[in-house]
Every structure is written in C-alpha cells, then in structure tokens.
Amino acid sequence: MWYHRLSHLQSRLQDLLKGGVIYPALPQPNFKSLLPLAVHWHHTVSKSLTCAWQQHEDHFELKYANTVMRFDYVWLRDHCRSASCYNSKTHQRSLDTASVDLCIKPKNIRLDETTLFFTWPDGHVTKYDLNWLVKNSYEGQKQKVIQPRILWNAEIYQQAQVPSVDCQSFLETNEGLKKFLQNFLLYGIAFVENVPPTQEHTEKLAERISLIRETIYGRMWYFTSDFSRGDTAYTKLALDRHTDTTYFQEPCGIQVFHCLKHEGTGGRTLLVDGFYAAEQVLQKAPEEFELLSKVPLKHEYIEDVGECHNHMIGVGPVLNIYPWNKELYLIRYNNYDRAVINTVPYDVVHRWYTAHRTLTIELRRPENEFWVKLKPGRVLFIDNWRVLHGRECFTGYRQLCGCYLTRDDVLNTARLLGLEA
C-alpha cells in the first residue's frame, strides 16, 4: 500500500516538473526517506466492522467505524477507567495526571473482540471499548454536533407549526416538560400557554426547569415604561434586535418574558434566529464569519439612576465557536451596549466593520423577522445565546415581568430527560 502511494507521488511530482510548477533545478526527493521505519498494521474484523491499528513511536493510530484516530500515549494512560484510576460511582478521575510519565509508551497492545488492552511499563493494564474511543477521540468529536438545532427564518418557523405547551402539562408532567425543552433546544424559542398573568406564577414556571439567575436587575424583574432603570427597555421606544447582557463576562443563557397587561397599541416582539443569519454569512463570506469569531470586543453598561449604580464590562467576539468542530454556540450582538473598539489594530478594524455589516444585513432581512404579540397568559422563553429579540414602539400602559435562567441548569434538566443538549 505504501509503495503504491509512493509510486503515485513520484509520478505526480514528475508531471509537475514537466508542467513547470516545480522547477527542475530543485533536488529530486529521496523517496526512501518517506518510508516509515516500521509499518506494522494489525487487522481484525469485529462485529462486521474492520479494525486496524498501528503503534507509532509517539502515538497510537486506530482505524475503526470509518474513522482514522490518533491517540497520544499519555492521553491513553490518563483516561484509564480501571477501579484504581477512575471512580465509577462519582464519575471522577482518581489518577494523579501529574504522576504519569510524559514519555510513557505501552509495553504491549492487544485486541480482543471490541476491546483494546494496553499494558504499561509498570504492569498496569488499561482497556478501552472501540466505540468509546470513536466517541471520545478528537476525530470523532470533529464530526459530532454538540447540540442539534433547526435553523429558521420566519417562513421556516411558521411552517414547522411548533406547538406550545400547556401550563399544567409543563408543571405537572415530564412529558410536557420534555416536549417544551425539545422545542426550545431545536429552535431557541418556546411558548407556554394558559399561565395565570402574575409574577408569582411566572416565577413558578421558570423554576420548573432552572435556577433563576439573579443579576443587577434582581431575581424576578417587573417593569413598565417608567424609565426606572437606565436602559432603553424601560421606555416606549422601539428596540432593534439584540441579545441581552452582552456586558456580562458570561451573558445570561435564557430569558423569560410574560406580558401581564397592555392597554394600548403596538409593542409586538421581534425574534430573529441569530444562528440562521450567521450561517448565511458563513456560506456567502466565510472569511468574514471567521473574523467575527476571532475579534474580541468590549460591551459596557453604565447606570447611574436613582439608587442603581452599576458599571459592567464583558469581553468576547460577536460569534463564539467551538474550535474543534467550528460549531457556533453563542452570538453576542448588541449595538446599544458595544463599547469603544480598542482591542484590535487599525488595519483589522475596517475589515471588522465590513463583516459586522454583512451580519447585520442578514439579521435585518424582513424574511428573517418573526413577529409575535405577547399577551397575558402566554410566556415566552428565549435562548439568549442564539435568538435576538426586539420590539416595536407602543402606546399606553404595558406591564412585563420575567427573569434570566442559568443555562447550565436548563441543559441539565434536558439531559436528565434524555435529550441531547
């Protein structure tokens, strides 16, 4: 196999030489040096899946389930699940990682059916199931999405006819709660109907899935357009699409809205799937998507109204992605609270503005805007790391209550119900 590859490489190099891509004056490659010192692939067939592995000087290579994986030997020793290295009751590591020789190599490797056994120099044996290695390898994780999502614009969401969940079912049955969370995880928004229009019942609803995150706005917030806080939200003015608390080091994960009363006109809520817009940028201008995921920005909230005195600063890029699989997990977009851009040199600034404009155009496309009228009894949950919200201006008296939820606790509840989160 190696010789076939080398023959192909030699032929390709000769073609390139003839075509002038590589200048003939360059020395001919030493093909012998490309040969590995020792090629010992071990092959076996297990449960209809072919497995092949090879022990290299500094790593272990495994081919299984259509995946080629490479494992550092220290990693293999560190992740041992034997009783002396891992507490299966607490699911915590017992092994002192700092005690592992950084030059460690196994003395012996053998495969029995679907289990690999590594014997280390001190005689300790580590065993791994092949499927566990596929699932937990870097190569396996690169192919995996952490949280499955359905990206949407207004038409996609409306055609999906995502059902709301009744308050009683939400509060009293795991089936209703699971249905709600499944919708929330897939779309980033979800509704609960027939909720008594009080702050107390809204609080009870929120506590069903998470701890309430207390912030500078309190635990449960209740507001009208009296400008009691130094924020545009406490007015009757229209609000452009944005995510909340970008000025926190970790923006709040979930936002809960319940309109308790509105005696007037206007005030519809705007919802935009930020991940859908970001995906459009990725497809049309990938270099701009990358820039938005790398340039750190400061967001700032300064308040000096009445007895409220706050100065909050949060730092992070507009788009936040996992580095191993490039999955987007957080959008931090708020033009109201973005601070002075002083974290990047001048030659990057203009390119950032161009990329930001591209994203803004996508976010502002009318077809991406989903408008909904909040009313008493209908509670809206928003994934603040994904879905942007805004509102149109309104008249009359309007009361809203709500809160922020801790993202970790919402995802914890979902996992305990068997959902992928």
Q: What is the reported pLDDT for 45?
A: 58
This prediction has a pTM of 0.84
Q: What is the reported pLDDT for 22?
A: 37
Q: State whether CATH 3.20.20.540 applies to domain 154-416.
A: no
Name the β-bridge partners of 331. 319
Q: What is the reported pLDDT for 232?
A: 62
- Asked if residue 34 has pLDDT above 70, the reply is no
Mean pLDDT in the chain?
89
Selected residue with higher pLDDT from 8 and 305: 305
- 4-142 matches 154-416 in fold: no
- Over residues 36-78, the pLDDT tens digits come to 434 567 776 555 578 999 999 999 999 999 999 999 999 999 9
- Asked if residue 33 has pLDDT above 50, the reply is no
| Mean pLDDT score, 358-380 | 97
How far is CA 240 from each of CA 212, 227, 271, rounded to the nearest angstrom?
26, 18, 10
Q: What is the reported pLDDT for 40?
A: 67
- Asked if residue 304 has pLDDT above 60, the reply is yes
- Over residues 187-234, the pLDDT tens digits come to 999 999 999 999 999 999 999 999 999 999 999 998 776 545 455 666
Q: What is the reported pLDDT for 47?
A: 54
Q: What is the reported pLDDT for 234?
A: 66
Return the CATH fold of 4-142. Answer: NE0471 N-terminal domain-like (3.30.2020)
The full set of domain ranges for the chain reads 4-142, 154-416
- Asked if residue 14 has pLDDT above 70, the reply is no
Q: What is the reported pLDDT for 235?
A: 76
Q: What is the reported pLDDT for 49?
A: 74
- Over residues 241-252, the pLDDT tens digits come to 999 999 999 999
Q: What is the reported pLDDT for 222?
A: 87
Q: What is the reported pLDDT for 226?
A: 55
% the chain with pLDDT above 70: 87
Q: What is the reported pLDDT for 82?
A: 97
- Asked if residue 35 has pLDDT above 60, the reply is no
- Over residues 335-356, the pLDDT tens digits come to 999 999 999 999 999 999 999 9
Q: Which of 21-25, 94-98, 329-333 has the lowest mean pLDDT?
A: 21-25
- Asked if residue 25 has pLDDT above 90, the reply is no
